[in-house]
Amino acid sequence: MKKLIIGIEGNNKAFEEGFRFKVNGNYRVLDTIDPWSGMPDLAHDTFAFDNEEEAREYAKTQIFPFTKKPVEVWKLEHRETPRETQKRLEREKAEREAKKLANDKAKAEKLGLTLEEFKERRKKLARAKGLETEVERMEKEIERLKKEIARKRKEAEKIRKEYE
């Protein structure tokens, strides 16, 4: 059995109905040019099949316009819709936040602090680490400037001796 599928929802509906193979066919070369490849754009229809042999027979009748080779038979699989992707990402984010909160609560209990005290302590430690990093950077800059000062004093001394 053959069925035209359109878009991700059509793909998923065909998969749920028992179709397991798909073939692109009815290729049409359009008047527009693809800016990436410089080739003419193509349009095609996608057909779902429940029988692999039937799909292969249909694929043999379809020729890809640019290579002149028969088209391939693809396995039809459930594809994630943008809405499903958004829901999955939101669910994963909520799970990560719940896991982080549970870890924070466990650490706070281990230290004998409330969750708010633990978070405040972590903020202060992060601030201290940031300040320490800044101090280290400044100390390196001071060392570099001291070397630069010593080099310039030496150069000035050399010039003074040369012209006195």
pLDDT digit string, tens, across residues 66-115: 778 888 898 988 888 888 999 999 999 999 999 999 999 999 999 999 99
Lowest mean pLDDT among 22-31, 98-107, 112-121: 22-31
Distance of alpha carbon 149 from alpha carbon 89, whole angstroms: 56
Mean local confidence (pLDDT), 48-67: 86
Distance of alpha carbon 4 from alpha carbon 132, whole angstroms: 64
- Of 28, 46, 75, the one marking the end of a domain is 75
Count how many Cα atoms sit within 13 Å of the Cα of residue 70 in the half-sphere of its side chain: 11
150 falls within a domain: no
Say how many domains are in the chain.
Answer: 2
| Same domain flag for 70 and 90 | no
147 falls within a domain: no
| Same domain flag for 12 and 71 | yes
Quote the pLDDT of residue 125.
Answer: 92
50 falls within a domain: yes
| Same domain flag for 53 and 20 | yes
pTM above 0.75, yes or no: no
